[in-house]
Amino acid sequence: MDLTNTITPKSDQLNADDLISGPRVIRITEVKAGNAEQPVCISFDGDNGRPYKPGKSMRRVLMALWGKDSKAYIDKRIKIYTDPSVKFGGVNVGGIRISHASGITEPLEMAMTETRGKRKPYTVQPLPDFAPALESLKTAAEAGTEALKTAWLALPKDMQDILRSDVSALKPKA
Half-sphere exposure of residue 54: CA atoms within 13 angstroms, side-chain side: 21
Q: Which amino acid is at 171?
A: K
Cα torsion at 147, 134, 53, 122 (round to 10°)? 120
Q: Are 40 and 58 in contact (CB under 8 A)?
A: no
Distance in angstroms (rounded) separating the CA atoms of residues 55 and 35 = 12
Provide the terminal-to-terminal Cα distance of the chain, rounded to the nearest Å. 27
Give the model's pLDDT for residue 44.
92
**How far are the Cα atoms of 122, 137, 147 from residue 144, in angstroms, in the given order?**
44, 11, 5
Which tens digit of pLDDT belongs to each residue from 94-117? 899 999 999 999 999 999 887 777
* Interval 42-61 mean pLDDT: 91
